[in-house]
Amino acid sequence: MAQIHHFEYGALTPTVSYILSVLGSLLGLTSAVRLRSARSGGERFWWLTLAAVAIGATGIWSMHFVAMLGFDVDGTPIRYDIGLTVASAVIALASVGVGLAIALLGKTAPRLRILVGGVLAGLGVGAMHYTGMAAMRLRGEIHYSGREVIASIAIAVVAATVALWLTLIVSKPIAIFGSALLMGVAVNGMHFTGMLAMSVTPEGEAFGSVEGATAANLLVPVGAAVVFAIVGMGYALVSAPTEEDREAAEYLRQRIENRAAAPAAPAPAQFGGQPAGQQQPPNRSTGRGTLGDASWTYRDRGRQ
């Protein structure tokens, strides 16, 4: 058996892969929160797509890609079939999207939806991993240990099910961040468990070319796509109004309409140049002003 190295560059590749998985999970869970409060089918589809891209493409597939940069086998170069590599990314994106749709878009039997969605998404993640491994070209024959393969797929199914459950319950930033850290551990655990299932028997000439793209050939386009996706999703999340923003806008609109519809009060009598019953100016120290007072905020509505 050929000697296999999973950390050719030391802690660099596993560290970056973990950061990517956490970042993708963070963006995906935040998108899921927005999806739950979406008011139209178009909004729900938009946030579902962002969540699938964040978790499936960024948090899972790109994590696997970066981790594979540190993979090496003694005595042979490693190349990748571009078609199968792209197919593995599509499988990850589609399977996570289907799982999210089943879990988040239904209205009945939430536990059953989470279970079904988790199984489908987990099997899809497993298929993504081994499709990516099938894309690998080297001088040797690749073998897999059935026990580790089953363990890796089981981890993927459990992790996907827990992830879908989290998309339904977390909403606070600290809970989202903690959940993303946990999901990052699960995604990396699945990948490296699957890699432990692999062994290589050398064959062929000691020297010669291996067809396919090198990891360096794929690094620039994949890296650019990941950066573009992260920046784009971050901008979409920051620029989109939250549920509280919508409630504040609606509350303010109602106050304006009520004030416009209220009958005008008669002018008070004058006593010594001072209108009788004149209201005191709003207390700016407490922020409890009128609608026109700049110190009034939406959160003050319960104190008025």
227-247 pLDDT, tens digit per residue, is 999 999 999 888 877 666 666
What does the pLDDT read at residue 270? 56
- Which residues have CB under 8 Å from 291's CB, separation 6+? 252, 255, 256, 259
Are the C-beta atoms of residues 68 and 132 closer than 8 Å to each other? yes
Candidate from 1-15, 233-247, 286-300 with smallest mean pLDDT: 286-300
Predicted TM-score (pTM) of this structure: 0.78
For the cut 80, the answer to whether the pLDDT of residue 278 exceeds it is no
β-pair partners for 144: 198
Dist. CA 68–CA 30, nearest whole Å: 28
Average pLDDT over residues 130-137: 93
Are the C-beta atoms of residues 106 and 230 closer than 8 Å to each other? no
Dist. CA 300–CA 304, nearest whole Å: 7
What does the pLDDT read at residue 89? 94
Confidence of residue 3 (pLDDT cuts 50, 70, 90): confident
Q: At what angle do helices 62-69 and 110-134 cross, to 10 degrees?
A: 30
Confidence of residue 294 (pLDDT cuts 50, 70, 90): very low
What does the pLDDT read at residue 268? 59
Candidate from 33-47, 117-131, 220-234 with smallest mean pLDDT: 33-47
Average pLDDT over residues 33-51: 89
Candidate from 139-148, 164-173, 203-212 with smallest mean pLDDT: 203-212
Angle at 27 between CA 234 and CA 29, to 5 degrees: 145
Average pLDDT, the chain: 84
Average pLDDT over residues 265-291: 51
Confidence of residue 302 (pLDDT cuts 50, 70, 90): low
For the cut 60, the answer to whether the pLDDT of residue 71 exceeds it is yes
60 or 247, higher pLDDT? 60
Length of the chain: 304
Q: Which two tokens stand for residue 7?
A: 């950390």
